[in-house]
Chains A and B, each alone.
Chain A
């Protein structure tokens, strides 16, 4: 009993409890980092979209004016390709996504580590797992579930962001551009329950007061 309620108070935890608590803190930090990156990325993406859209609007009259002149085609082509600014932004965005991928890989590692702890407990205490919870109420299995849920959400989100990265610079449709941007900005897969999961994880592990 005292082992179940005390570890948060005890200060120096060992073994699985230590590991889980550290992981929870890591989740928090990683997600914070992710948010920062996402914000950074959204500014870049906005730039890209604005660039594309302004170019579209500039390009239209050009086409009309130089419709049948010979110089029309190369001018258009140059507008599309040789655009160092746009390229630069795209590279920046790519960097952001890479760093996000890096975060995700860390998340993945944490999930697999927690799985390992779970397996270890199964080995120690049999199929039913630990008789008393490590912290307040959660079984180890629940930690794994929460972590993998979080991981799934961010994985999905990263996939979305990769898609956006791939497409955003090549879309002429302003509506679609807008959708890309709002997808990036609002991170549709990170819903309220994601935050609740994280919060409850932090509470369970004693990072935050109940």
Chain B
């Protein structure tokens, strides 16, 4: 009796997982692009720090007029550029997140609408081809939360980075790396793995 509802939900779930699969690749790609940007950011910060620590007048470069100021200006400019690029990347994360949220929300909405014809016993029923509805919903929720938090953390980190705060800039690559949560990524991959048969059993 609940078969039509289950089928409908399964359809929606497939769509959603498909979407997550695509978004995961996008996310990874953007993340890769970011890593070089972030490391160059760290590098620039390091250069700026070195410049601040060095007394140019006492070095062979002392004869060059305005060198420290000019160099600092250049470096700050470069940092600004990198930050802007990073901002774009984070916006890309944002769109991934939005897309995931949209799809997950749709699935949950459908579940809530049809929950009267989907008793819990049906929801927890598993078979060889498909995991239980409850498990899948759970994975979706986890994934959504993962992307949500990841996006927020990365955006937040970027927001607090200011060209005049050297210490923060220097620590940026480390902090960026520390945000990576292999666990979360792995959980998404696991989930995708577990639903792979389900996706094919269209």
Contacts and interface: CB of A to CB of B under 8 A. Distances in A.
A and B touch in the complex (CB under 8 A): yes
A182 B71 contact: yes
User: Is the contact region of chain B dominated by helix, strand, or loop, or is it mixed?
Assistant: helix
Interface stretch (B20-28, B46-54, B173-181, B192-200): B46-54
A188 B65 CA distance: 11
B60 A186 contact: no
B60 A163 contact: yes
Contacts of A159: 64
A197 interface: no
A176 B59 CA distance: 8
Interface size class of B (residues with CB under 8 A): 10 to 19
A188 B54 CA distance: 16
A191 interface: yes
B145 to A, nearest CB: 41
A85 to B, nearest CB: 23
Contact of A167 (B46, B60, B64, B75): B60
B56 interface: yes
Nearest to B65: A156
Contacts of A175: 50, 53-54
B71 A176 contact: no
Contacts of B78: 186
A198 interface: no
Interface string A164-178: 001100000111101
A179 B56 contact: yes
B64 A179 contact: no
A173 B74 CA distance: 22
A144 B63 CA distance: 27
B64 A186 contact: no
Interface string B67-88: 1001101110010000000000
B71 A183 contact: yes
B160 interface: no
B61 interface: yes
A191 B77 CA distance: 11
Interface of B: 46-47, 50-51, 53-54, 56, 59-61, 63-64, 67, 70-71, 73-75, 78
Given A166-B60, A179-B61, 11 more contacts: A156-B64, A160-B67, A163-B60, A167-B59, A179-B50, A179-B51, A182-B47, A182-B71, A183-B61, A183-B67, A191-B74
Interface of A: 156, 159-160, 163, 166-167, 173-176, 178-183, 186-189, 191
Nearest 10 pairs between A and B by C-beta? A178-B50, A188-B70, A182-B47, A186-B74, A188-B71, A175-B50, A175-B53, A175-B54, A167-B60, A179-B54
